[in-house]
Structure 1
């Protein structure tokens, strides 16, 4: 039985790892730490290009678990076709909730209150006064109401927003109110002052924010994307931004990283952050806790948490 566990964090820096497995450190370097065929539990390197994490998968003939340290798994899913049936793919639900929600609020407040304009004015020694929109009394629509969506709403509460509407793949009821299905999105968009994208990238959400979606947003609305770049049709968004009808704040873009000279860099009414929702001081302690818990479950043959999917013969 294979007992190798590949970790992108040095094992001696993770307190509480269960005894038994052979822990190996690999953070995407050119040399593998051992034969990939002996790996039973693979933790994908974090914040590396997609092809780096995929590289060992064709040789991982004994792997049982592929664990990401990101909330999304879209960067790993193209490699599932190399794996035998029964391999569990797990995400890092809970690791990035606080950091991503913090950034979401920062992007909203910076955009509404004109912080980028103040910074530019400061560079020129100019005093830029005047009225700006407040988050208070606004209607906010969260598209993608998973753990991160819930964390975003937690942080919206003290800002005295008028209403929060929630949209997810399936309809349900929460303690805070209803979660609407995607089929009701079109009717909710015209009411929202702020639209937050926190949905996973799937076949159904790729290009979700197209020309029709944007046209339904009210004049002066703010679009915030902390999900994945391809959820938004970049060309359609550029057209709306250049018209001045809406504004946007993007932590993720398509293409990513955004190349020099791309028109998004200079689009009016747009604030861009370079995909920094997750990498903060909050990441490492939460990632370590997740790995200790998951590996404890794996060693003791207990049910794993956050299983996104299990490979089958149709993946090959």
Structure 2
């Protein structure tokens, strides 16, 4: 198949192993963007393109230039609002993202951060370096077990399901809030569906794993945080826009709750940002999913679906955009050094 390849902000070395890159180039007629003017490049090559690997805008004008187009792979891994999805649906063009590759790495980091919050591993490590550690029971006065505890998961997509699998040995009661999934479906997964307020008030550990949509941006606000039990733990693992960061840091600073976050409203976080000094918070610089394995899995899944499409079969390794939900997606894109 004829592939127009423009993976920025990902790099080829990130998403393809040398062996899979060789397979990609030998199995398909690949035209690669090399830094030239994008408008002219796309105008020249879209008429023959069958597969597009790119996160660049594809409005009605560009789609009209691509009569043979069968699929768009966004290896940046978000469904961005820069595509005329309705036109793609009308024409039967698959819009795909291999975002699920980050589920297992994010879930593992979430579990690790939860254990650290519960037992203050990070805090006692820092205290040990300055000779201020507390030994034995004295260092565990605020500690509690994840095992047998109560866990709430906000969002039961790829991230939430991956986390749930890791929690199985801990014997937790797991509640889920996900308005995009019917209660019966959630029960069949083995979790208890609940409303948002019930989840916030009934659990010691709350994991925010939901993608950002027009419906849930800022849902973790002062009111929602006020529902949490004293000393309960909230882990923000998906996108910072899910939370009112001011309210979140204020509640952590007061000592009423414990917070861990892998994401921030501005990234990278400025060196002098006051959030760095907020107590009762565990920080990670948006690195939960950023593993070489996960990035290379992007290339693997793209190749799998390219093979299926070339044989007249539907793609299954990547997630397809759905008409009913894609217009609501509001995740921030990975920044690109050469926006077009």
The two structures have a TM-score, normalised by structure 2, of 0.76
Residue 177 in structure 1 maps to residue 190 in structure 2: yes
Give the Cα separation in 2 of the matches to 1:84 and 1:13: 35
1:115 to 114, 121, 131: 121
Matched, 1:43 2:53: yes
Structure-2 separation of matches of 1:211 and 1:263: 19
Q: 2:107 aligned with 1:97, yes or no?
A: no
Indicate yes or no: 2:177 matched with 1:167: yes
Q: Does 2:289 match 1:278?
A: yes
Q: Report 1:1-316 matches (<5 A).
A: 3-7=3-7, 8-9=11-12, 13-14=19-20, 16-17=23-24, 21-25=28-32, 30-31=35-36, 35-37=41-43, 38-39=45-46, 40=49, 41-44=51-54, 53-54=55-56, 61-62=65-66, 64-69=70-75, 72-73=78-79, 76-77=80-81, 79-81=82-84, 84-86=87-89, 87-129=93-135, 130-131=139-140, 132-161=143-172, 163-168=173-178, 169-171=180-182, 172-178=185-191, 180=193, 184-305=195-316, 306-309=319-322
Alpha-carbon distance in 1 for matches of 2:12, 2:221: 39
Sort the Cα spacing of 1:218 and 1:282 in 2 relative to 1 into closer, same or farther, 3 A. same
**Larger mean Cα displacement after TM superposition, 172-181 or 140-149:** 172-181
Moved more, 248-257 or 190-199: 248-257
SS of equivalent residue, structure 1 residue 166? strand
1:111 Cα shift? 1.6
Q: What is the deviation of 1:43?
A: 3.0
Provide structure 2 residue ranges, at least 5 long, that are not aligned to the other structure: 329-340
Cα drift, residue 208 of structure 1 = 1.3
Q: Does the C-alpha gap of structure 1 residues 266 and 64 become closer, same or farther in structure 2, counting only changes over 3 Å? A: farther
| Pair 70,109 (structure 1): closer, same or farther in 2 beyond 3 Å | farther
Q: Structure 1 pair 118/179, CA: closer, same or farther in 2 (3 Å)?
A: same
Question: CA 1:207 to 1:294, structure 2 compared with 1: closer, same or farther past 3 Å?
Answer: same
Task: Classify the secondary structure of the residue corresponding to 2:304.
Answer: helix
Contact 2:58 2:83 in 1 (8 A): no
Q: Indicate conservation of the 8 Å contact 1:142/1:167, yes or no.
A: yes
Alignment partners' CA distance in 2, 1:4 and 1:177: 42
2:336 maps to what in 1? none
| Deviation by residue 1:242-262 (Cα, 9 ceiling, x = unmatched) | 222111100112123322222
Deviation at 1:165, TM superposition (A): 0.8
Q: RMSD across aligned C-alpha pairs, in angstroms?
A: 3.1
**Distance in 1 between residues matched to 2:277 and 2:71, nearest whole Å:** 43
Q: 1:3 to 1:280 in 2, by over 3 A?
A: closer
Higher relative helix content: 2
For residue 338 of structure 2, what is the aligned residue in structure 1? none
Q: What is the total number of aligned residue pairs between the two structures? A: 297
Deviation by residue 1:115-153 (Cα, 9 ceiling, x = unmatched) = 221232232244432212221222000111112211101
* 1:50 counterpart residue number: none
